[in-house]
Chains A and B, each alone.
Chain A
Amino acid sequence: MTTPRTMYEKIWADHVVRDGGGTEPDLLYIDLHLVHEVTSPQAFESLDLTGRTVRRPDLTLATIDHGVPTTGRELGIQDPLSKKQIDTLVANCKKHGIELYDIHDIRQGIVHVIGPEQGITQPGMTIVCGDSHTSTHGAFGALAFGIGTSEVEHVLATQTLPQTRPKSMAVNVNGELPLGVTAKDVILGIISRIGVAGGTGYVIEYRGSTIEALSMAGRMTICNMSIEGGARAGMISPDEITFEYLKGRNYAPTGAEWDEAVEYWKSIRTDEGAEFDVEVHLEAADLAPYVSWGTNPAQTVAVTDAVPDPSEFEDALERDAAERALVYMDLEPGTPITEIPVDRIFLGSCTNGRIEDLRAAAAVVEGRTIASDIHAMVVPGSGLVKLQAEEEGLDLIFKNAGFEWRDAGCSMCLGMNPDILMPGERAASTSNRNFEGRQGRNGRTHLVSPEMAAAAAIAGRFVDVREWN
């Protein structure tokens, strides 16, 4: 009998082009390379300068997401630098024969939303992109991780990447999720336990009955934020929920090929008895709706808690970070989270910009109106998510409540387009990072689930969404 292996070990082994023998990195084959406008121009330029070509344009897919405006697109892109960056991607894709979902394409959207939506993201694949949230695709049982621009160029030129093998970590979450606790809360809970660097050097596999019960959207939310715990990749073994999601999508196999694919996908699941380098255990019952209070994603507390006192942190650097965070966030220790007022609501991003997220938020919003002085916006993760939401009438629910209904893109998650916080503004955001300046200089970000963001929009402050049900 063969030694039981983890899914990560199997996928790795299936993609080794050249074994580094322990002294060099293994050379890994890359099945899918996703490209966007911000981290690719220098890679294409360098490719041209060295006279190299794109080895597999057919395994490369590009979209425009980081810098696109989410309103007034008919006017074109006003920011000359963003326009140049986007035009550069259009020209590079044309030159190298790479398929591009451009600004006029209904399939345009956040790179980590469109891959799964089109069924291009599939179990067993290696997937890279010049974006740290590439870990999202691991929800399908793919080994997916973010890379830098030099590596983007490397993949364009060779369809491979030299990689040193990371260690493996199993994060086990078991039990039924309590009412009002979402996938976003699961991952925020995990990060607050392992810390922002707890996963550094590891590939995480999320396991256990809680994870298995989640929809693909929930699984993507969890894998998406692996990098916020330091792990380049997060994965979930594929199962019937995965196959059901993929079946019938544009790029999914059909007929006999589908059956063959499913058989292969089942074979890559982690074997019974496989060993991980580290195991972490959480009980779903211990989780709550979380709100971040600081400037990194591990600085979170349950909505029923208060802003912590930095003096309670034992570690000097953590204490220092907490003190600094409270100054930046303009928060006093001991303030109940539900007494923190908000100015802005951002519903979207590769973490929570899928149709399921919009449905969940709309259910909270329906029949209500946002608090006065609140500026709230919904930015669907893709043109197709937007279309679907409109077919379901979700746009009307949001608009009637006072939300802005926008076009697809990364938007205020990182504020590379005009969607940014003004200095001092405080946001309830469904995105993934609450770093200083992330959503706009001196803007203050609180990370929450779509339901919690929606409830905050109505109340004008954070509220325990469980009390709304």
Chain B
Amino acid sequence: MEPISVITGQMAPMPRANVDTDAIIPKQFLKRVERSGFGPFLFYEWAYDEEGELIPDFILNQADYAAAEVLVSGPNFGSGSSREHAPWSIEDRGFKAIIAPSFADIFYNNCINIGLLPVVLTDDEVAKLSEIANDPDNLVTIDLEAQKVTTIGFEAGFAIEPFAKHRLANGLDNIALTLEHREAIDGFEQMRAEHKPSLG
């Protein structure tokens, strides 16, 4: 996981509520056993028609937005299934952050775990950013350390849990962090009440 400090890049506006993980990465692409290579299938059924032809109007198919690195969308982004393939596909497509008024819980955690920065702003702030993003030349800057989003005529702070921020800023492996507490896990297992279930 690459450490994140400051992200500066183009925004892609997708002003829709409840963008679900089935839309982000449809199920036919979940059969792969690899972790990478999901980018071409991102929003597949919005990006390609039934014949597999590119739908030119779709925001991510527009040449002006080909280099977008920050997705700006509506509330409850990433709802539905727990598939981590969803943030994988967004990341694989070159995005480094998603800005929305709210995220689904599992999706949010998945983003933190893979180093894709989820940024929560207010409805009004996201609406304004979305408008600014309509001009593809307007770049946005997200400063994780300062917890601040800035672009032309726009500045907003955002909240993030200190531990999640620490992990993202340092690119830390969560499992390695937990294994530092191996003795605590050993101790817990020893003291567990006998009738706690076991698959035996």
Q: Does B156 contact A (CB under 8 A)?
A: no
Nearest B residue to A164 via CB reads B161
A46 to B35, CA, bound (A): 9
Nearest B residue to A56 via CB reads B189
Closest chain A CB from B89 CB (angstroms):
13
**Contact status B175-A153, CB under 8 Å:** yes
Picked from B27, B193, B200, the residue with its CB within 8 Å of the CB of A416 is B27
**Contact status B197-A120, CB under 8 Å:** yes
Closest chain B CB from A443 CB (angstroms):
11
28 CB-based A-B contacts, threshold 8 Å: A17-B184, A17-B185, A25-B161, A27-B184, A29-B185, A31-B196, A32-B199, A38-B30, A42-B84, A46-B35, A60-B199, A61-B199, A85-B32, A120-B197, A146-B106, A166-B105, A197-B79, A200-B102, A253-B195, A317-B74, A321-B17, A415-B27, A423-B50, A433-B81, A435-B22, A435-B23, A435-B80, A437-B22
Say whether, besides A151-B109, A438-B22, A45 and B33 are in contact (CB < 8 Å): yes
**Contact status A149-B84, CB under 8 Å:** yes
Q: Does A122 contact B (CB under 8 A)?
A: yes
Picked from A41, A58, A196, A436, the residue with its CB within 8 Å of the CB of B200 is A58
Nearest A residue to B76 via CB reads A197
The digit string for B25-60, where 1 denotes a CB below 8 A from any CB of A, is 011101111110000000001000010000000000
**Contact status A150-B82, CB under 8 Å:** no
A147 to B82, CA, bound (A): 6
Q: Does A330 contact B (CB under 8 A)?
A: no
Say whether, besides A38-B30, A132-B106, A251-B199, A154 and B82 are in contact (CB < 8 Å): no
Q: Does B148 contact A (CB under 8 A)?
A: no
A79 to B113, CA, bound (A): 31
Nearest B residue to A152 via CB reads B84
**Contact status A435-B20, CB under 8 Å:** yes
Closest chain B CB from A352 CB (angstroms):
18
**Contact status A230-B105, CB under 8 Å:** yes
Residues of A within 8 A of B (CB): 17-18, 20, 23-25, 27, 29, 31-32, 38-39, 41-42, 45-46, 50, 52, 55, 58-61, 66-67, 79, 81-82, 84-85, 88, 99, 120, 122, 124-125, 130-132, 145-151, 153-154, 157-160, 162, 164, 166, 196-197, 200-201, 227, 230, 232, 251, 253, 257, 260-261, 264, 296, 317-318, 320-321, 324, 414-416, 423, 433, 435-438, 441-442
A31 to B198, CA, bound (A): 8
Nearest B residue to A149 via CB reads B84
**Contact status B82-A59, CB under 8 Å:** no
Closest chain A CB from B150 CB (angstroms):
25
- Residue numbers in A under 8 Å from B35 (CB-CB): 42, 45-46, 149
- Residue numbers in A under 8 Å from B20 (CB-CB): 296, 433, 435
Nearest B residue to A433 via CB reads B80
The digit string for B167-190, where 1 denotes a CB below 8 A from any CB of A, is 000000011011101001100110
Q: Does B8 contact A (CB under 8 A)?
A: no
Picked from B104, B114, B175, the residue with its CB within 8 Å of the CB of A200 is B104
Closest chain A CB from B106 CB (angstroms):
5
Say whether, besides A45-B35, A52-B175, A441 and B45 are in contact (CB < 8 Å): yes
Closest chain A CB from B99 CB (angstroms):
16
Nearest A residue to B179 via CB reads A158
A260 to B195, CA, bound (A): 7
Closest chain A CB from B187 CB (angstroms):
8
Closest chain B CB from A206 CB (angstroms):
18
A25 to B177, CA, bound (A): 12
Say whether, besides A150-B110, A200-B105, A317-B74, A158 and B45 are in contact (CB < 8 Å): no
**Contact status B33-A196, CB under 8 Å:** no
- Residue numbers in B under 8 Å from A423 (CB-CB): 50
- Residue numbers in A under 8 Å from B189 (CB-CB): 29, 159
Give the bracket for the number of chain B residues in contact with chain A: 35 or more
- Residue numbers in B under 8 Å from A60 (CB-CB): 199
Say whether, besides A32-B197, A42-B34, A84-B33, A148 and B28 are in contact (CB < 8 Å): no
- Residue numbers in A under 8 Å from B34 (CB-CB): 42
A66 to B27, CA, bound (A): 10
**Contact status B33-A148, CB under 8 Å:** no
A101 to B68, CA, bound (A): 44
A55 to B189, CA, bound (A): 11
Picked from B50, B74, B75, B193, the residue with its CB within 8 Å of the CB of A264 is B193
- Residue numbers in B under 8 Å from A146 (CB-CB): 82, 106
**Contact status B83-A39, CB under 8 Å:** yes
A202 to B34, CA, bound (A): 32
**Contact status A67-B31, CB under 8 Å:** yes
**Contact status A42-B178, CB under 8 Å:** no
**Contact status B106-A17, CB under 8 Å:** no
Query: Which A-B residue pairs are the 4 nearest by beta carbons?
Result: A150-B113, A81-B31, A148-B110, A148-B84
**Contact status A320-B84, CB under 8 Å:** no
Q: Does B162 contact A (CB under 8 A)?
A: yes
**Contact status B104-A230, CB under 8 Å:** yes
Nearest B residue to A17 via CB reads B188
**Contact status B199-A261, CB under 8 Å:** no
Nearest B residue to A256 via CB reads B195
**Contact status A148-B26, CB under 8 Å:** no
A320 to B198, CA, bound (A): 49
A148 to B35, CA, bound (A): 12
